[in-house]
Amino acid sequence: MKPKSKIEKTRLQLLHQYYSYTGFYTFVWNAIKKASPYIILIVGIVYLINHFFDINKALTHLTEVLPAYGVLSFFFVSETLLGIIPPEIFIAWAGKMYSPWFYLSLLAILSYAGGLLSYWMGRSITNIPSIHNYLEVKMEKQLKNSKKWGGFLIVVGAVLPLPFSISCIAAGIIKFPFKSVMLYGSLRLLRFAIYGLIIFNVL
């Protein structure tokens, strides 16, 4: 009987072979190369703005002056439209409320719902004739590969400190099944729970 470690190593090797044969690594690398200029541009703009105007301080002040429903509404809009504002600021706000876990739960649900709404925004984008033709003709091969790994795309956006909304918009554009988006996207709720445990213990 093979040792457990050897079996696990074999499974990892098979997984690595599968990703290599299907072109997953090439797909991810090409996607990173294409997205890098835009990411660098956005980071540069945010850095410049933050250099002259403290964004985090302004957002923290915003959570202090707005009523609870105003903060929650602002957060929902942020999580629906690109989601570039760090949710940790809002989680810290929830930690100062009289019922931290209640407000954290609302934030988690709004973030999840915002991502699902973003998915349908992505689906709507594909209805624009020029974009539809571009995706169906020029991006046919890339689109087919994207559909294979759409679940990975959603999990990364839900769990890692990356904009969940952007992942969901991308999933909508490639027409990844909505039920799968709902399933994988539910990991977003877990992320908020973990962040809450960490941040609430620090505050």
pLDDT attached to residue 165: 87
pLDDT attached to residue 183: 92
Maximum alpha-carbon separation in the chain: 65
CA separation for the pair 103, 96 (Å, rounded): 10
CA distances to 55, 147, 170 from 124, rounded to whole Å, are 31, 17, 11
DSSP code of residue 96: T
β strands within the chain, DSSP E: none
pLDDT attached to residue 44: 67
Identity of residue 128: I
pLDDT attached to residue 152: 77
pLDDT attached to residue 109: 96
CA separation for the pair 136, 196 (Å, rounded): 42
pLDDT attached to residue 120: 92
pLDDT attached to residue 15: 61
CA separation for the pair 59, 56 (Å, rounded): 5
For residue 50, give both structure tokens.
Answer: 């933050």
Q: Which pTM value belongs to this model?
A: 0.71
* CB-CB neighbours of 6 under 10 Å: 9
Residue found under tokens 């090439």: 26
pLDDT attached to residue 192: 92
CB-CB contact of 82 with 166 (8 Å): yes
pLDDT attached to residue 155: 85
Closest C-alpha among 89, 86, 79 to residue 113: 79
Over the chain (203 residues), the average pLDDT of each successive run of 10 is 52 66 61 59 61 64 82 92 82 88 95 93 79 59 64 81 82 85 92 87 63
